[in-house]
Amino acid sequence: MKRSPIFLLLALCALFVTSCKDDEVPPEENEQETITNVTLTFTPDGGGTAVKATWVDADGNGAGKPVLSDITLAANTTYTMDISITNLIDPQNPENTTDEIDKEKNDHMFFFGWTNGLFTSPTGDGNIGKGFRDDPINYGDSVDDKGLPLGLETTWTTGAAATGTFQVILKHQPDGIKSATSDTTSGESDVDVTWNMTVQ
């Protein structure tokens, strides 16, 4: 009388030990947060070969180091620079992040910094850092809904021969953080890359 429920339970626990093998693999996810490739395209005004600078980090969040190409521009030339951002972490699913950023221009803004003397326009060394938001940058593309710049397209006029660095920061400033005064100390950095640059 007392024994039967115990045996039932033992049968149950035997079932536990040899429990059915589950072989469910996590779903394949389209990794959208990662960016693996950034390309700057400098197109000279009035024609000529465009200069491309790339930044490639094939393993995304892995410990592997990114590969950069140096930028070489001609002296005393005006360029239109376009920024292209893509995610190729999964070669089967390439992703164009540029369009996504353009769609969300109200929440994004590019900031630039360079060694003083590389350009005659804009002058100075860029708008990165606290309080430097309004330093000169030739934002060329359409503005966002509040009339604030985005920066996917900008124009640059080089000066005489010089060498230095060129930094691009993309700030994600959602939830109303992006304003007429928000600088690089607000929001999160989606892109922060520095290239070596030569003007010759």
- Among residues 42, 53, 57, 109, the one that binds other proteins under rule CB under 8 A: 57
Give the integer Cα–Cα distance in Å for 147 and 41.
25
Contacts of 81 (CB under 8 A, 6+ apart): 40, 41, 42, 43, 153, 154, 155, 156
- Of 5 and 47, CB closest to other proteins: 5
Closer residue to other proteins (CB): 31 or 153 = 31
Residue in the structure block whose two tokens are 């000529």: 48
Give yes or no for residue 164 binding other proteins (CB under 8 A).
no
Of 47 and 91, the one with the shorter C-beta distance to other proteins is 91
Nearer to other proteins, 2 or 47 (CB): 2
11 sits near other proteins (criterion: CB under 8 A): no
21 in contact with other proteins (CB under 8 A): yes
Please work out the total of residues on this chain that contact other proteins, with binding judged by CB under 8 A: 64
Rounded distance, CA 26 to CA 189, Å?
29
Question: In this structure, what DSSP letter does residue 75 have?
Answer: T
Q: Using the rule CB under 8 A, is 188 a contact of other proteins?
A: yes
Cα–Cα distance list, 96 to 33, 78, 122, 142 (Å): 11, 27, 29, 19
Q: Which stretch binds other proteins (CB under 8 A): 46-54, 62-70, 131-139, 143-151?
A: 62-70
- x-or-dash string of contact with other proteins, 123-152, rule CB under 8 A: -------x----------------------
Q: By CB neighbour count within 10 A (0-12 exposed, 13-18 middle, 19+ buried), where does 84 fall?
A: middle
Spatial neighbors of 79 by CB under 8 A, at least 6 apart, are 42, 43, 44, 45, 51, 73, 155, 156, 157, 158
| Candidate residues 46, 47, 63, 181; the one interacting with other proteins per rule CB under 8 A | 63
Cα dist from 136 to 71, 167, 194, whole Å: 21, 15, 19
Give the binding site for other proteins (CB under 8 A): 2-3, 5-6, 9-10, 12-14, 16-17, 19, 21-36, 38, 55, 57, 59-66, 89-90, 92, 100-101, 103-104, 107, 130, 169, 172, 174-177, 184-193
